[in-house]
Structure 1
Amino acid sequence: MGSSIFSIGLTGLNAAQAGLVTTSHNISNAGTSGYSRQNTVQSTNPAMFTGAGFFGEGTKVDTVKRAYSAFLTNQVLSADTKFSEYDTYNTEISQIDNMLADATVGLTPAIQSFFSGVQEVAANPASVPARQSMISTSQSLVARFHNLSERLDDVRSGVESQIDETVGAISSYAKDIAEINNKIIIAQQAGSNQPANDLLDTRDLLISELNKLVRVSTNVADDGSMSVFIGTGQPLVIGTNATNLDARPSLSDPTRLDVNIIASNGSAIPIPESLLGGGKLGGLLSMRTSSLDAAQNQLGLIAVGMATRFNAQHALGQDLNGNLGTDFFTQPDIYVTRNALASTAFSKDDVHYDDISKLTGDDYRITFTDTVGNYKLTRVSDGATIPTDTGVGLRIDKPTSSNVGDSFLIQPTRYVAGTFGVAITDTRMIAAAAPISSSAGSEGLLSTIGSSATASISAPAVLSSDKFASLAAANTVFSFSASPDTLSITGLPSGMKVSYTDASGTVVGPSALSSIPYTAGMTVGLWHATGATTNQQDVSFSFTGTPAAGDSFLLRGGTPNKGTASISAPVVSDTTNLSALKAGYTTLSYNSSGMLTVSNLPPGMAVAYTPLNGTQTVGSPVPYSSGMSIAFGHMSGTDFVSEVSFTVSGAPSVNDRFNIGANTAGVSDSRNAVLLGNLQTTKTLLSASGQPSATFQSVYSQLVSAVGNKARELGVNRDAQESLVQQASSAQQSLVGVNLDEEAANLIRYQQAYQAASKVMSVASKLFDQVLALGQ
């Protein structure tokens, strides 16, 4: 019995010692990150049967168990990876939000300043300082676009760098977890499958840190190893084998990094972004795709809109040199990036802007489906197939041959803000005036009689009004005869002299002449003497083309219109025949039938008229009605395309004339500058129901609002998720965390158990000694 008591005391002593060791280990690791509280698990030894029943044989320690709950751990992992994603996304987008919404460095003040410069030219078209101010504000606008683009490029560079670092860290954690798996397998096999608690804690800590980088899910095998999957189930660690990941330039867009699985043979297998979510990597990828790409594209959309719309209107104007307007801003470029595996001959020269109001700021991928250039167009943001390229504001020229499967990335707006520029530096080249003017009446007008339509005479430039009355009353005729080609002059006022340019361009005269040799493109001037050897030029005009024998050209005057009708200033909307309209002088004459007959309209042009509150009709003569709109244009198939339009109002009298011709006095004309200024408030972008729905500034406002709302949303989600992380962590720590007060109580408990077990052994020893003494 003594030996039995002794054995029982010894088991109690061992159990108490195990409890003291475990408690001491807990206390020592109370501050260790990832440590889970441990405790011993005891059970009774098998009892010994006697005739008097079963007598206990003490206790044994079955295992040392760590406090662990897979449910609570998964809750923490789920909350933590989402928080990390929100926190990363919020940090990055805040940079864009602060920049775009800033009242000083944002785009809105620059747009307003630029259009203020345009309005100043509209108010003072002849003012060189006003024109210089317009160029200066345009350069400031371009600089603002460049600054914003460069800042977004900096953000993108930072995001790509973090993606590279994060992918490298994920691979490193994968290798560490695989090594820990190997150690756990060895340790648990050596220890009769007893849990290797400290190694399990180390592995859980690695999983927790990895989960902050990318969402993970796990599965524990029978041998104790843990397989780790990332994103939507991509294997990262299987047993003791780790997948090697690397961030490499995308095959379809080398400017951005793709996450790749590196196979054993060294080949890279890209992982689609949609399969990677959660954690820092998920936040970076989401921010890059959903916000950064969109911000750069929308900023570029505004630049495309301003460049194309402003240039188009500027081309409809006339500068101080009398020339039609040229591009005010540099033409934007569409970027086309070849997939690294593609070989089809296709480039940016094959993609053109069509209707920019249909541009949305999206990128597209064109994939060739056969060998003769047919293709499928998809939107990159959501993978949707686009029925036609024209529906997105682009026109794509099909190659004559293609390779099936070859793809190209089309970015219509991505880089435009960074390449936006001013094309004009000469103030005289600002096309503030309209190239076409109108007048009512017939004084000093040049018209042709019996022309073969193969030659024309320009509108006269009046250089002196001294002899204007004589010229207006004279009806001077220039009659063409051939062999040799000559213009005979009749009806020239007394004392007037003539000059002309010969075939070499030399000015001959002025002198008293009744005929002059004809040369296509020649300039003729009419003069009067101001002294014995001095002359003053009164009128100049030019001839072009090849007239037929008998054609005559009349320089005549007349009287003002007798009716009360007036003609509005023409509005130019197309440049197809603008040069021909400027070279001639088109007239509308009112006759007794109530019709306006059109004379000298350039070949190939058509007339359309629209009565007030009526429908448009193509054809002439024009039945007159007050307030009607008349347009000169051309036919495109069965459709009429307006080039110049104006209105006629009031009550005309028979033989009243209305004239459309070149604007020869455009220095103080600001009609086109007014139209340029109107672009600030004109809806030109983001077509909705077939009509543009947004101005330049409203598109920018939408961009600022979208980024701001997303930043606000992420901030709210981040704070809410942080609270969830704290709750989940608190619940987990209440189970696995070390409570020093509790451990101190355990120390006392195990100390007392140790002392009691020692007392049992002491009693057993004395009893054994007594038994020995009986035998002496």
Structure 2
Amino acid sequence: MGILGISVAGLNAARTQLDTTSHNIANASTPGYTRQRVLQSSVLGDTASGQYVGAGVQIDAIQRMADRFAVEQLRDSTTAFAESDIFHSISSRVDNLASNDATSLSTSLSGYFETLNEGVNEPTSIALRQSILGEANNLTTRFHTIERELSQLRVEINRDLDDAALNLTQLGKRVAIINDQISRAVGSAGGAIPNDLLDDRDRALKEIAEFANISVFEHTDGSVDVSIGSGQSLVAGTNSLTIVAEPNAEDASKSNLFVKDLNKNVRFDITNEIQSGRVKGLIDVRDNVIDQSLRQLGLVAVGLIQTTNEQHKLGMDFNSALGGDFFNDLNKSALIAQRYLPNSANTGNAALTVELGEFAADTIALPNKPATGIKDLEAEEYNLIITGTSYELIRQSDQASMTSGAIADFPIQINGMRISLSSGGFADQDSYVIRPLQGLARGIDVQITDPKKLALAWPVAASENEANLGSGKLTVSDMVSTNQPINFSDLSTAANTVTSFQPDLVSQLTDLKTPLAGDLLFSVAGGTPDDVAIPIAIADSSARALFDGIALNVTGVTPTASTTLDLGAYSDGVWGGTGSDVTFESFGGTGVNLPSTALGIAAGTRNADEVVTAITALSGNISARAEVVIKSTVGENLAISLGASATAAGLALNSVAQDEMNLGDFIEGSTINAGDLVINGQSISGTFVTTTALRDAIRTAGSNNTITNKFSADAHIIVTENQGKTIQISTTGNNGGTGAANFEDFSLSGAAHEGYQKGQVTVTAANVTDSLLISGNNPENGGFITGLSLNVAKNAFHPDRPGQLDPPIQIEFLSQTRYQVYLKSGTLKPIGGPQPYDPLNPDVFPLVDTTTAPPTDYDPGYRMRISGTPEKGDIFNIEYNTNGFGDNSNAIKLAKIEQQAVLTADTSGNPTSSISQGYESLVASVASETETSIIDLNASETLKRQAQQKRDSIMGVNLDEEAANLIQFQQAYQASARVITVAQTLFSSLLQAVG
């Protein structure tokens, strides 16, 4: 090549070295820049004089000083640090919110219970009562504040996920564009690599790695494919996919990340595929810290609401009235509506009801339903999965199966919840998120505004007669219930006339949502509703039925081979309204069931015989007869069957309170002579062919002012199916007649019957003519109500008789070791036999009456304790605590709730945590997560710094090194230039020599 060519090549090589070194120095501070170096080699020379003479130098490539392992290590450590950083940042905010005195619930709980304890000392102070309400409102406000702040963090996380999705999409597009640029550059440069484009792409990949863990695959053309998470493609060559944040199909309040394909259709939820990075940190802190804190806060709210309300309702307020709810109802409709979420992909239309509270065991339903209560509640959410005609309830946190069964087994009763199908139906593969604690912290509110409504006393008071000789004392030791049905046969004389109803009363329901035409009516003959419990099996645990004097009831006759129903009396003899009808049908027995047959009797005034004749004509298997029911307005009934002897009827009549009735010999169709039947001095005489005629005569006599408010009489129709089959009766129209619009609510409890709920219902009407309504949700059309047996029952705290005990109790000591308990209602009525007095076991209630067969319990809902040494003849009294303003008994109980274990049952089913401990558990859990996040953050920060240092030591620019290279390459450049000068001199000398 010669000296000139060699020197020019050397000059060019040195200049390239200088350019590259200058480029390195200029980018020494450029993030992600990779140091470059010039690769050069000598040019093979030609032979001269038998020897090879070198031909100079050539540039082979400009190389990026990249280390793939260092790049990937830095990328991975960046991913881990981003995850730890965002998790710690948010969890520390939750930790500060939960534990800081200015925002912590512990501070407000302490203030509330401290004020309650002050109320214990001064229950009569209105100012202190107002302070209690003030602290209670402060407490609920603190619940609201914490819930609001946590919910706001969830909103911020959703926004961060939106930003993450947008960044991932934009960075993916950027990598795809750089891929295209690199491919084009490599092609146009004959395979030369555009180093600075590779740096740009590495920077973009590192930014992607901040959001999610990625995998990178490099192609021979210099382009790369990028997948995120466990393998979901983000970039493929020059194409990229779109990432979007959209609501979770199961919980729309949560955002998840989805990949859209090239046609922009949602294809795959990648939220759970992302294993690390900022997105993973956001999801984890949301699910494991924020959501768990919200659930635990809701659990604390449940414990406070349930225990406080239950205790407060056991007390008496400043106005001598029973206490009501202190906080809002745990199952108010606004809360229930938040407790489940249907999957957006569901094809069924089922609506659910998720109730919280105390639910009794149901051993009649198949399968049995266990007892459960708030102690069994978990700070968890569940997935209800429908497969065909079956369901499974799965806990989200560990995917444990909690229970499963057939859809027909609903409602589900588990973990302090009762999940019911309220309407619609399930479809295969439907799913629901069950969120029992959702919204409770936000929904808790104080229901009392008047400080006088605080029930700080107990409604029962005990006293001793001043004439007592002994040192015995009777004290109220506890309140258990103010709505406890008292099952006891001696509560009512009238109730003794009918003590059991057999067989089953089965009636098919139509629409019972409101008491309109089509409602099915029920009544009981032979007992005061105040004293009678009507056991009902019904299609829903809180379904509704309408009770009235014009109705269905079961007679007091125990059937043998036939089934008997009593179609009740008419109001003023009116049968139904326009278009009314009654349908009778027997079913469930042996033999051929009767077809559904309607009783087509026109509306209007109809006597009993006319209705009996119409019913009997329906079928040879159904017959009917009539009877007269005489009712006292003080609430006692007596049904006298036709053909009853005068002696039997007279004895029965004479047992009714407030009567002045004498009944002479009476045979149906015969003549009653003057003086044979006298009611309060009113003689009833004449020939009475039908019971209706007798009834009307009694009513006519009753128009006299002296007896108007004492007795009335109605005809009843007894319907008998002679083949031993149950009679189903359905109604259309309004068969209640006039005066059937007075309704009263009462509740149901019990077990399932063929998928429906059953149990005893206590009737609480003021008198027999009142209508009664079982309130709540309604069974589906076609559901059944089934009567079981009649029990005499009474409530010691009757809602219709506020401010008095029903009845008061007297205890008289028969000796130092035995006492008798009496009901003080008019005359003293003993409860059972004499009871033993044991100073080591001094509790009075509940007591057992062994004089009945089988023995019965008497439990008025309060507990009494005898102490000291009573003497024979000593008398103690139990009465309503009228004017007991200074009593602090219930205030003490309310204050003790602070330390009472009510939450988190152990393996034996016993609660282990108080309300305060429940919140402390929240604080401890968040603190633990935050402490762990600090450790993770410090470790990941150290690893990232080390990875960055390693990458920089290999790939970064060292200015000292580059400065030395600059001098070296400058000298090389100058030397090559000198060679050119020499070559130029030699060339000039040659020209002069030949010139």
TM over 0.5: yes
The Cα of 1:11 is off from its aligned counterpart by 2.9
| Aligned match for 1:624, one of 834, 837, 854 | 837
User: 1:308/1:519 Cα in 2 relative to 1: closer, same or farther (>3 Å)?
Assistant: farther
Which position in structure 1 is the counterpart of 2:353?
Answer: 349
Please give the residue correspondences for 1:294-443 in structure 2 after superposition, counting only pairs within 5 Å: 294-332=292-330, 333-334=335-336, 335=338, 336-347=340-351, 349-354=353-358, 355-371=373-389, 374-387=390-403, 390-398=413-421, 401-440=425-464
**1:678 aligns to 2:869 (yes or no):** no
Deviations 1:552-598 (A, max 9, x none): xxxxxxxxxxxxxxxxxxxxxxx994426931134455546955554
Q: In the aligned structure 2, how far is the partner of 1:634 from the partner of 1:413?
A: 41
**1:481 aligns to 2:659 (yes or no):** yes
User: 1:545/1:187 Cα in 2 relative to 1: closer, same or farther (>3 Å)?
Assistant: closer
Deviations 1:120-178 (A, max 9, x none): 33322233222222222211211221222222222222222121112111111111111
**1:217 aligns to 2:215 (yes or no):** yes
User: 1:99/1:228 Cα in 2 relative to 1: closer, same or farther (>3 Å)?
Assistant: same
The Cα of 1:403 is off from its aligned counterpart by 0.7
Instruction: Give the SS at the match of 1:330.
Output: coil
Please give the residue correspondences for 1:338-737 in structure 2 after superposition, counting only pairs within 5 Å: 338-347=342-351, 349-354=353-358, 355-371=373-389, 374-387=390-403, 390-398=413-421, 401-440=425-464, 451-452=493-494, 480-483=658-661, 577-579=795-797, 582-591=805-814, 595-600=818-823, 622-628=835-841, 629-632=843-846, 643-654=861-872, 656-689=874-907, 690-737=909-956
User: 1:203/1:124 Cα in 2 relative to 1: closer, same or farther (>3 Å)?
Assistant: same
| Code of the aligned partner of 2:428 | V
Q: Please identify, of 335-344 and 21-30, the stretch whose mean Cα deviation from structure 2 is larger.
A: 335-344
Q: Name the count of aligned residue pairs.
A: 659
Q: In the aligned structure 2, how far is the partner of 1:742 from the partner of 1:384?
A: 62
User: 1:8/1:245 Cα in 2 relative to 1: closer, same or farther (>3 Å)?
Assistant: same
Q: In the aligned structure 1, how far is the partner of 2:847 from the partner of 2:33?
A: 84
**1:73 aligns to 2:71 (yes or no):** yes
Instruction: Give the SS at the match of 1:647.
Output: strand
Q: In the aligned structure 1, how far is the partner of 2:455 from the partner of 2:242?
A: 62
| Code of the aligned partner of 1:404 | D
The Cα of 1:517 is off from its aligned counterpart by 9.0
Q: In the aligned structure 2, how far is the partner of 1:544 from the partner of 1:111?
A: 42
Instruction: Verify the 8 A CA contact 2:658 2:710 in the aligned structure 1.
Output: no
Instruction: Give the SS at the match of 1:228.
Output: strand
| Code of the aligned partner of 1:585 | P
Instruction: Verify the 8 A CA contact 1:258 1:270 in the aligned structure 2.
Output: no
Q: What is the percentage of aligned positions where both structures have the same residue?
A: 30
The Cα of 1:183 is off from its aligned counterpart by 0.6
Hey, which of these two has a bigger chunk of helix by percent? 1
Give the structure-2-normalised TM-score. 0.61
Q: In the aligned structure 1, how far is the partner of 2:326 from the partner of 2:54?
A: 102
| Aligned match for 2:230, one of 229, 232, 238 | 232
Instruction: Verify the 8 A CA contact 2:816 2:837 in the aligned structure 1.
Output: no
Instruction: Give the SS at the match of 2:341.
Output: strand
| Code of the aligned partner of 2:840 | G
User: 1:593/1:666 Cα in 2 relative to 1: closer, same or farther (>3 Å)?
Assistant: closer
| Aligned match for 2:964, one of 740, 745, 752 | 745
Which position in structure 1 is the counterpart of 2:537?
Answer: none
Instruction: Verify the 8 A CA contact 2:242 2:264 in the aligned structure 1.
Output: no
Q: In the aligned structure 2, how far is the partner of 1:16 from the partner of 1:29?
A: 20
Which position in structure 2 is the counterpart of 1:21?
Answer: 19
Give structure 2 stretches of 5+ with no counterpart.
359-372, 405-411, 469-489, 496-526, 532-655, 662-677, 682-705, 712-764, 769-792, 799-803
Q: Please identify, of 345-354 and 199-208, the stretch whose mean Cα deviation from structure 2 is larger.
A: 345-354
Please give the residue correspondences for 1:156-305 in structure 2 after superposition, counting only pairs within 5 Å: 156-305=154-303
Instruction: Verify the 8 A CA contact 1:36 1:67 in the aligned structure 2.
Output: yes
| Code of the aligned partner of 1:406 | D
Q: In the aligned structure 2, how far is the partner of 1:300 from the partner of 1:158?
A: 21
The Cα of 1:692 is off from its aligned counterpart by 1.2
| Aligned match for 1:60, one of 52, 58, 61 | 58
The Cα of 1:257 is off from its aligned counterpart by 1.1
Deviations 1:170-202 (A, max 9, x none): 111111111001111111122222221000000
Q: In the aligned structure 1, how far is the partner of 2:844 from the partner of 2:413?
A: 31
**1:119 aligns to 2:338 (yes or no):** no
User: 1:136/1:634 Cα in 2 relative to 1: closer, same or farther (>3 Å)?
Assistant: farther
Q: Please identify, of 387-396 and 302-311, the stretch whose mean Cα deviation from structure 2 is larger.
A: 387-396
The Cα of 1:639 is off from its aligned counterpart by 13
| Aligned match for 1:95, one of 93, 99, 104 | 93
The Cα of 1:721 is off from its aligned counterpart by 2.1
Instruction: Verify the 8 A CA contact 1:317 1:435 in the aligned structure 2.
Output: yes
Deviations 1:399-434 (A, max 9, x none): 683111111222222311111111111223222222
Deviations 1:26-52 (A, max 9, x none): 122222221111001122333545673
User: 1:276/1:544 Cα in 2 relative to 1: closer, same or farther (>3 Å)?
Assistant: closer
Q: In the aligned structure 2, how far is the partner of 1:188 from the partner of 1:23?
A: 23
| Code of the aligned partner of 1:631 | F
Instruction: Verify the 8 A CA contact 1:627 1:647 in the aligned structure 2.
Output: no
Instruction: Verify the 8 A CA contact 2:182 2:194 in the aligned structure 1.
Output: yes
The Cα of 1:724 is off from its aligned counterpart by 2.0
User: 1:624/1:224 Cα in 2 relative to 1: closer, same or farther (>3 Å)?
Assistant: same
User: 1:344/1:437 Cα in 2 relative to 1: closer, same or farther (>3 Å)?
Assistant: farther
The Cα of 1:392 is off from its aligned counterpart by 2.4
Give structure 1 stretches of 5+ with no counterpart.
459-477, 488-514, 521-542, 547-574, 609-618
The Cα of 1:7 is off from its aligned counterpart by 3.5
Instruction: Verify the 8 A CA contact 2:395 2:402 in the aligned structure 1.
Output: yes
The Cα of 1:624 is off from its aligned counterpart by 3.4
Give the structure-1-normalised TM-score. 0.77
Instruction: Verify the 8 A CA contact 2:259 2:269 in the aligned structure 1.
Output: yes
Instruction: Verify the 8 A CA contact 2:462 2:876 in the aligned structure 1.
Output: yes
User: 1:187/1:622 Cα in 2 relative to 1: closer, same or farther (>3 Å)?
Assistant: farther
| Code of the aligned partner of 1:327 | D
Q: In the aligned structure 1, how far is the partner of 2:893 from the partner of 2:679?
A: 45
Instruction: Verify the 8 A CA contact 1:352 1:396 in the aligned structure 2.
Output: no
Instruction: Verify the 8 A CA contact 1:228 1:237 in the aligned structure 2.
Output: yes
The Cα of 1:220 is off from its aligned counterpart by 1.0
Instruction: Verify the 8 A CA contact 2:229 2:270 in the aligned structure 1.
Output: no
Instruction: Verify the 8 A CA contact 2:382 2:395 in the aligned structure 1.
Output: yes
Deviations 1:361-408 (A, max 9, x none): 21222122224xx32112233333223764422111246831111112
User: 1:113/1:287 Cα in 2 relative to 1: closer, same or farther (>3 Å)?
Assistant: same
Q: In the aligned structure 1, how far is the partner of 2:316 from the partner of 2:89?
A: 50
User: 1:639/1:167 Cα in 2 relative to 1: closer, same or farther (>3 Å)?
Assistant: farther
The Cα of 1:296 is off from its aligned counterpart by 1.5
Instruction: Give the SS at the match of 2:892.
Output: helix
